[in-house]
A and B are shown apart, each in its own frame.
Chain A
Amino acid sequence: MFNISTQALFAQLLVGLINGSFYALLSLGLAVIFGMLNIINFAHGALYMMGAFCAYFLLNVLGINYWMALILAPLLIGFLGVVLERTMLQRLAGLDHLYGLLLTFGLALIIQGLFQNYFGSSGLPYAIPQQLTGGQNLGFMFLPNYRAWVVIFSLTICLATWFAIEKTKLGAYLRAATENPTLVRAFGVNVPRMITLTYGFGVGLAALAGVLSAPINQVRPLMGADLIIVVFAVVVIGGMGSIMGSIVTGFALGILEGLTKYFYPEASNTVVFVIMAIVLMVKPNGLFGRA
């Protein structure tokens, strides 16, 4: 029963799960940022790319390995996010949300353009860390260790973020500030600082996804440009009202995309957009969205 085509099916499912991990990490970051800042961060894809480049430089210039990069890159890029928020995004408070989209789109153009100038469009290789080379033969398929790690680690990070926001005291402050920043401020909470750190955290998640993807997809200046559009569709499908919703939608759409690659490869590029169109017709606020 486990013939070649079943193997191919599971292989595509795994690709789908991997992509789903990135969709989930990125849409989670977008949702967290949108909740606090009311900004759709168009630069998310560019910052994801910077996370991957950061890991590449840490390894090739400073000799810092993958495991340290997994911690350092999100911190460094997250700090860049904090600087961007403090110098630019903060000034948009009170303006139409669309200005945030336009500003971050401009930032994405700048970042991607700069990287393209120096690195062209081709990919730079990033080796899989020694501890995670090889794979397991599961009988019905061959599972590369690194890919299994990406899925499990992403899922852990997503669930930890969900727990931190929904179940801890800090998360309660955050949710309260999302609902009514003025009132939370009156209780003595430093809301502007919280907003800045939230943006830094969301950006850090994007950078983390970038580091994870570096050994799978090569490190390219435009690696985030097309991805962010798919993630936008994911966000529209899920609606940004729920943290768990972003995670579930991200993984589910990755898997669906993988299945499409197996059953009808011609549509694999467009399936997420088609689903988005259907969801908008049936449930305009998204699967997990609030009216």
Chain B
Amino acid sequence: MTTTPIKPVSPAAPERSETPIIMGMIAVLAVLPLLGVYPYFVMQALCFALFACAFNLLIGYVGLLSFGHAMFLGTAGYASAHAAKVWGLAPELSILFGTLASGALGVLVGLIAIRRQGIYFSMTTLALAQMIYFFYLQAKFTHGEDGIQGVPRGLFLGVLDISKPLVLFYVVLAIFVAGFLLIYRTINSPFGEILKAIRENEPRAISLGYRTARYKLAAFALSAALAGLAGATKVIVSQNASLTDVRWEMSGEVVLMTLVGGLGTIFGPVVGAFIIIAMQQYLAEFGQWVLVIQGVIFVACVLAFRRGIVGEAAKVLRRNL
């Protein structure tokens, strides 16, 4: 049986630079709070956007669907919250510590998970994430159901007072842009080309002499570290780390964001994250209905809208987005 793998639309049109669009996106994001959009909302959405971009690096460019990415978001969250609150580290060092912690976990989990492909890979990551969840549920330093509350913000790099919302906003935006550009650079590098080759035809990549397991592991660890960067930043923004970030629902949410925006597109995860976070804000009063609506979006996307918003736009405009 032939199957169509999950991959971005590859238009026949000549390659066009995405730089103007990236610049435009950054400019729009930068002025959002000045236009009266609640900065806290944009910061939260930016953290999730980075999280979704990190997830998308795996599904879009290596063809691996991780159903356990919440473990990296949550691990970095707990690590940086602990570093900032208990050890009193500066915010940038706390974020760095959280990112490294998730990267290290990514190497460990990756070593196990990349031994299987496709559907088994998804189930494995989901199960390992659940194991991590139970660990945090029982561990002392996470304070169980209470979480780590009142994480201090302090001075970013010793000069920026991130207790001021607008300063914090631009710091978060800078972190998001740095992460986004790193991913963009990665997928357009020789390393990224090899990843795409593995996605398209792994046996062939192996026959060309590439040790595909190493490339997959490197991509997995990078994705984990960047998801960690998002999680650590999110904790500095919300000032608390809780079990919500490690639950399987969170792993599902990042899949949904990326699916809505467009799997394997450059801007899709960002668009998807803003849509889903906005939806949660407006529908918060409906309680459990949010889950039902998310489920309906999942079903609708898979049945009728597999390219996602940005993927459809890319098809209409006949270019990579």
Give the interface of A toward B (CB within 8 A): 34, 38, 40, 88, 91-92, 94-99, 101-103, 105-114, 116-117, 181, 225-226, 229-230, 232-233, 235-236, 266, 269-270, 272-274, 276-277, 280-281, 284-285
Contacts and interface: CB of A to CB of B under 8 A. Distances in A.
Contacts of A233: 123, 127, 130
B127 A110 contact: no
Interface residues of B, number: 48
A94 B124 contact: no
Given A109-B295, A116-B288, A273 B130 contact: yes
B292 A106 contact: no
A28 B25 CA distance: 49
B131 interface: yes
Interface in B245-292: 248, 252, 255, 259, 287-292
A116 B306 CA distance: 28
Contacts of A111: 295
B115 A113 contact: no
Given A96-B5, A232-B123, 6 more contacts: A95-B306, A102-B298, A106-B299, A110-B292, A113-B295, A236-B123
B295 A101 contact: no
Interface in B123-137: 123-124, 126-128, 130-131, 134-135, 137
A40 B124 contact: no
Contacts of A236: 116, 120, 123-124, 127
Contact of A109 (B128, B298, B301, B302): B298
Given A236-B124, A266-B138, A117 B289 contact: yes
A239 to B, nearest CB: 9
A233 B112 CA distance: 13
B122 to A, nearest CB: 6
Contacts of B252: 105, 109
Contacts of A284: 115-116
Contacts of B201: none
Nearest to A225: B248
Most interface-central of B4, B111, B303 (chain A CB within 10 A): B303
